[in-house]
Structure formats: C-alpha cells, structure tokens
Amino acid sequence: MAVVRPFKGIRPTKELVDKVAALPYDVMNTEEAREMVKENPYSFLHVDKAQIDLPIETNQYDEIVYNTARGNLDKMRENGTYIQDGSPCMYVYRQVMDGRVQTGIVGCTSIDDYMNNIIKKHENTRAEKERDRINHVNYCNANTGPIFLTYRNVGEIDEIVAKYTAEEPEYNFVSEDGISHIIWVIDNASDVKRLEELFSGVDYLYIADGHHRAASAVNVGKMRREANKEYTGEEEFNFFLSVIFPADDLYIMDYNRVVKDLNNNSSEEFLAKVNEKFDVEEYVGEGQYKPEGKAMVGMYLDGKWYKLTAKEGTYDPADPVKSLDVSILQENVLTPILGIDDPKTSDRIDFVGGIRGLGELERRVAEGMKVAFAMYPTSIEELMNIADAGKLMPPKSTWFEPKLRSGIFVHELT
C-alpha cells in the first residue's frame, strides 16, 4: 500500500561529499552553525541555515534567508559541487556508529500516503516550525532534508539491499563525529521496479524523525496542487525525500529531563512525595544510575543518584501511551509534584538527548538545575504501536542516533 518511488537525485561529487554533508538544521542553533562552517564553504548548512551567511542581526525567518538558501543551492549546482543523476534511481544509505549498523532505502514517498495515514505519525507539529520549512522547501524548489521513516522488515527488500552493499559504494566517508556514511546507487531499472512493488505490499510506513519536515513537504505539495489545477499526481511535488529503514536496524536512545526547582518543596518533602508513587532506593554503585528496564527511572538530586521503580497502580500497562516511561514520570512526578503540566511550554524543564551521556545530567545540575531524571529508552515497537493506535507520544520521547546527514541527496520538486 505504501508508495516509494525513485527520483533523479541531486548529490555531491565524490570528492566533496564529506564536506557537503551536514547535520540536520534543527539540531544546532545559528551560532553553532556559524562555527561549524568556518573554513568550509561547501557545507550544506549554507543552504539549510542560510542565515549564517547574513548579518548576525538578520531574523532567521526573513525572506532574505530563504532567497539566500535558494541562491546558495543554485551556486552549488552551477559550480559543480552537485551533480544530478540522468535517470530516476533509489539509493542505499548505511550508517555505522560504534559498530552498530543501520541500512535504509533512499527514495520518495507520497504526500497522499501522509494525508491518508499510510505514513503514520506519533508527534504533533508546531505551526511556526512548519512555516519555516514550508518557506525553505518552496523557495529552494526542493526537499533538502530527508524524512527518517521505518517499516516492519521485509525479507526481499533486505536481499536487494544486501546485493548492493556487497559492491563498491558510491560514497564512503566518516563525519566529524566518527559516524560512517556509505551510499550505493540503485540504478538498475528492474531492481528499482521490484523495490517499488515490495513497498507497495507494506501496509504502513512510520515517521521515526522529521515530523516537521514531512508536514512542511506535504503542505508545499498541496500548495502546488492548488496552483496547478491540472496536476496529474505524478509531478515531483507530490512526493518527498525519505530514508526508509527496517525497524530491526534502529536504535532509540534515552531522552532525559532536568528541572530547575522542586516547586517549593524541600528535598526531603520532594523525596517523600516521590516515594508515594515509586520505590526509592539510593544508588551506591559506580558512576550514574542508568535504568535497567521499563517503569524504572534514575534520579539525580543533591549529589546523589536514586533508583525509582514505579509502584503497582501508578500506570496502565495496557495503554501504549500511559505505559511509556516518559508518561509514567510525567503523570506521577512532573505534573502532580513539580507542577509542570505542559513540558512543551514550561521554561522550568529541559531535555537532554542520551547521546550526551548521564554525566551531562550531573553537569546541568551543577550549573543550576535542581533535579535530573534518567529515562529508560522508548522502543521502536512502542513507537509503532502508538502510531497504529492513532495516538501521540508525549514530547521528547525518542532520540534517534545516528542522525541522517542533509545535503547528500536533494529532491527537486519540478
């Protein structure tokens, strides 16, 4: 049922791919991006965060930013940084991080599948973030950042992937964070056709990461349909750039929380209230306490680590959302004790991706936060079950690593 089709990829030359490839635009701020591109005029951040090439006082949502992004992309195509495949292809994108491998198919997915919930979501999107990427995609006339999708494994897709990964890759480089990025071009027409057929037998695709990019791409497609009443559905604006990984390959890291204060509780009062919902045990082992299983939370308070185990009756194990560890913490500690009703808007809470390690929680507390919580990671099966149930995860439930690089593939909309 899912539509996945090839496209004429716009991609860097072999000599420049390692300089062009960049982290997604939304994992760093403008100042960090400016620092990252120093002495690298090829970085795709010149397209994805074009305000770095404008005066510091420039509003990142100003029209000049989107015009600059388009101009920078055009220059990269004109000066030979980018080439374009002459016929529609799919691609294999493999990432290796700390010895762990994930290998996906790069292709284009359908805006209709998104609207009809064949591409399933597990997060809400925010209108202001959508508007930014709508403008970016529309001005650039291209999908510049891939959507990270997953699906339940299909054996024959794995076999086709294995056939290509046994060959010499088109690209093979290691990014500055030590992650290997290896790409093969699937340009054999019969293999491409077979992959299209195999994906058409996949009931659902799931957004793992990139909800705002996906929503923005869909909105641009709808805008262009409105402007082109005679559209056939085959135009490139009806599809958006995706990398689709089998679920068994993926790894979700913990997404931890730090809170500024105890909501007018003393440490003793706070611990007593937490003890009503959790069995609280001071951790006496080496280093930090990392949760060992579901319904367990690590807590760092006043220089000590505690092991929290949710008591029976504090959550519904049959509910795919309420049984998430981030939900258990939210419903039993963050809301009733710490008074943080909406973690999306509260300025008293912050979130720390697991890639930073639990030592980062100790550092944040030392710098002024009061308490930190180390979470047990959400599983990919939990993500898919929630999407299947038509429900949404709490904010900041999943942290995927490694991150897909932007700039390796660009999908032109006309």
pLDDT at residue number 344: 83
pLDDT at residue number 240: 98
Q: Is 394 within a domain?
A: no
Helix, strand or coil for residue 269?
Answer: helix
Q: Is 279 within a domain?
A: yes
What are the pLDDT digits (tens) for 273-314? 999 999 999 999 999 999 999 999 999 999 999 999 999 999
Q: Do residues 171 and 154 both lie within one domain?
A: yes
Q: Do residues 135 and 283 both lie within one domain?
A: no
- Tell me the C-alpha to C-alpha distance, in Å, between residue 404 and each of 68, 179, 266, 322: 23, 10, 43, 29
Q: Is 24 within a domain?
A: yes
**Which residues have C-beta within 8 Å of that of residue 95, sequence separation ≥ 6?**
101, 102, 103, 179, 180, 181, 182, 402, 404
Q: Do residues 61 and 189 both lie within one domain?
A: yes
Q: How many CB atoms lie within 10 A of CB 373?
A: 25
Q: Is 34 within a domain?
A: yes
Q: Is 385 within a domain?
A: no
Cα gap 326→301, rounded to integer Å: 18
Q: Do residues 235 and 330 both lie within one domain?
A: no
* Rg (alpha carbons) of the chain, rounded to whole number: 23
146: containing domain: 4-251+401-412
What are the pLDDT digits (tens) for 203-232? 999 999 999 999 999 999 999 999 999 999
The gap from C-alpha 212 to its chain's centroid, in whole angstroms, comes to 10
Q: Do residues 206 and 82 both lie within one domain?
A: yes
Q: In the chain, how many domains are there?
A: 2
Q: Is 80 within a domain?
A: yes
Burial of 225 by CB count in 10 Å (0-12 exposed, 13-18 middle, 19+ buried)? middle
Cα gap 245→151, rounded to integer Å: 7
Q: Do residues 115 and 142 both lie within one domain?
A: yes
pLDDT at residue number 270: 98
Please state the pTM of the whole predicted model. 0.91
Q: Do residues 91 and 177 both lie within one domain?
A: yes
CATH for 287: 3.30.1760
Positive or negative: CA dihedral 157, 163, 168, 173:
positive
Q: Is 383 within a domain?
A: no
126 pLDDT higher than 90: no
Helix, strand or coil for residue 262?
Answer: coil
Q: Token pair for residue 230?
A: 């005679």
Q: Do residues 172 and 268 both lie within one domain?
A: no
pLDDT at residue number 394: 86
Q: How does DSSP assign 44-82, residue by residue? A: THHHHTGGGGS-TT--TTSHHHHHHHHHHHHHHHHTTSE
Q: Do residues 208 and 353 both lie within one domain?
A: no
Q: Is 391 within a domain?
A: no
The predicted model gives 72-80 an average pLDDT of 98
What are the pLDDT digits (tens) for 14-70? 999 999 999 999 889 999 999 999 999 999 999 999 999 999 999 999 999 999 999
Residue of 348, 413, 374 whose CA lies nearest to 143: 413
pLDDT at residue number 232: 97
- Tell me the C-alpha to C-alpha distance, in Å, between residue 264 and each of 260, 261, 270: 11, 7, 9
Averaged confidence pLDDT in the chain:
96
pLDDT at residue number 302: 98
Q: Do residues 62 and 152 both lie within one domain?
A: yes
Q: How does DSSP assign 96-127, residue by residue? A: EETTEEEEEEEEEEEHHHHHTTSEE--S---H
Judge contact between 1 and 200, C-beta under 8 A. yes
Q: Do residues 297 and 194 both lie within one domain?
A: no
Q: Where are the alpha helices (DSSP H) in 210-266?
A: 211-227
pLDDT at residue number 120: 96
- Tell me the C-alpha to C-alpha distance, in Å, between residue 63 and each of 54, 222, 270: 12, 21, 49
Q: Do residues 289 and 202 both lie within one domain?
A: no
